[in-house]
Amino acid sequence: MSEIFIKIAAALTLSASPLVAQLIAPPAEPNAPITPLVKSDPKNIYSSVVRIEAATQVPDYTTPWSAGRFSGGIGTGFIIGENQILTNAHVVSNARRLLVTMHGSARKHPAKIKYIAHDCDLALLELEDFKPFAHLQHLEIGDMPKLEDQVRVIGYPVGGDRISITRGVVSRIDFRPYSHSQVDSHLVVQIDAAINPGNSGGPVLQDGKVVGVAFQGLRSADNTGYIIPTPVIERFLTDIKTGSYDHYVELGLVDFPLHNPAMRRKFNLKADDPGVLVAAVTPDGSCEGILEVGDILVAIDGNQVDSAGNILISGEKVNLNEIAERKFDGDEVKLSILRNGQAMEKTIVLKPFPPARMYAATYDQQPLFTTFSGLVFQPLNLNLYAASKFSNARLRRLYARYIDEAIFKERKDIVVLTRILNDPINAHLGSHAGLAVESINGEKVRDIEHAHQLLHPAEMPEFFIIKCEGNPRPIIIPGDEAAEASQRTLTRYGVSKSHNLKH
């Protein structure tokens, strides 16, 4: 669930007034989890945990035509089925080569990514030759652990090549950001055991079954680690049954807690009434046209929403978004609301929200760009924003308000003039670098592919007139000199290709 939607977690469970109580139907059970695995033998569990070595190539968004930076890392995975190794997405992201080593063996076996989900930091690998692993047990997915349960973290942390076992106790169940995508939040289980580099992707075991995948730690605290719990794992495994990974769906609302007594009086809520305020409805989201700002969300799929935005599932308080977390594109969710004091029942159909990926880190893809007469144009995303550290206030505002102001409806991409490769044809244009492109020859730019088409038309115009937001002076390039200048700058600066428009 994207962090662009406000999530505030605090516990307050109170009984409802008669008006609110009539809205709350019996809770609907989340979608039934799958059980894709065969039972495991605890004696052979460690043999089913493998070491993963990744050789990576990380794109450079400041020079999008370059090969990028070569690097590598170590992680852990475990066998869950016939030629199926589950691990973290961040262990294998941007990988050019993957090698898997069996416990107790020195032989390295080539593998490849079958499915990867950057939004929940999970990936499924398959080996080029599974025969050497065919005798190993398939680890079974168990239930989500409860508070104070003891668990074991199995993996290959840095500092050695041998398997490592760490014991811990479940100390918290929460809804937190997943650091890999830098925007998505999901259910997490906190344990009092460190998750060190190399542990990532390893199984967390309880009574011989997998109850989570180790994936991140907390830098500000010692012996604190986070694991991806079974509801997230099971959703990933269910999603890929279609032959592809389709991402999470979004509720598409911003909720605000109703702790403040004055706010509760304003909305005619008694002290013990549940519910949160609908503070915003995402444009083009699942709730658009159904919910309104000012509605009070009292229950979701029959699960009472407390004044902090939490619901009760399997005896644990979790964020209300957890209902949508366990559903898929096209699934329905029933909402019980109060609108101007009137009880109402609404039904929404869930769907993904692609514009939110603007704020997600991108992996496994070369940067998109196009060049023209020494000018370099790129679509704005988190990777580019972080690499370039843009200072222009108007561009920063476009980025920040991309969803709130529904900019995405007119502009799939915010195309930015990121670099100017100095040449006589583009002299004295330095003040335009780092600005968003508004139009080319009078036509509004919709995305990077559209910009490329406008800059490379079938019929050459007398002049190319490029207007950038935040600079009243347009860029003017003579049409009869553009092609020669483009080739000249590519050669002079060693730019290996003029554009990349496809991931």
Instruction: Indicate whether 10 belongs to any domain.
Output: no
Residues 302 and 412 in one domain: no
Residues 312 and 394 in one domain: no
Q: How far is CA 437 from CA 14, 341, 360, 421, 451, in A?
A: 52, 47, 22, 17, 9
Residues 233 and 253 in one domain: no
Q: Which of 190, 219, 242 is the last residue of a domain?
A: 242
Judge whether 377 and 409 are in contact, CB under 8 Å: no
Q: Which of 242, 270, 289 is the last residue of a domain?
A: 242
Residues 388 and 464 in one domain: yes
Which has the minimum average pLDDT: 4-8, 234-238, 440-444?
A: 4-8
Q: What are phi and psi of 200, to 5 degrees?
A: -55, 135
Instruction: Indicate whether 291 belongs to any domain.
Output: yes
Which residue is it, tokens 């919709």? 446
Residues 255 and 233 in one domain: no
For 159-187, write each residue's pLDDT tens digit.
788 899 999 999 999 999 999 999 999 99
Q: Which domain holds residue 171?
A: 150-242
Residues 59 and 162 in one domain: no
Arithmetic mean of pLDDT, 206-224? 86
Residues 110 and 214 in one domain: no
Residues 295 and 336 in one domain: yes
Name the domain count of the chain.
4
Arithmetic mean of pLDDT, 138-153? 95
Instruction: Indicate whether 357 belongs to any domain.
Output: no
For 74-105, write each residue's pLDDT tens digit.
999 999 999 999 999 999 999 999 999 999 89
Instruction: Indicate whether 198 belongs to any domain.
Output: yes
CA 375 to CA 440: how far, in whole Å? 13
CA 495 to CA 336: how far, in whole Å? 57
Residues 61 and 168 in one domain: no
Residues 383 and 491 in one domain: yes
Residues labelled as active-site residues: 90, 121, 200
Residues 321 and 397 in one domain: no
CA 489 to CA 486: how far, in whole Å? 5
The structure's pTM equals: 0.87
> The CATH number of the domain where 494 resides is what?
3.20.190.20
Q: Which of 285, 318, 349 is the last residue of a domain?
A: 349
Residues 430 and 456 in one domain: yes
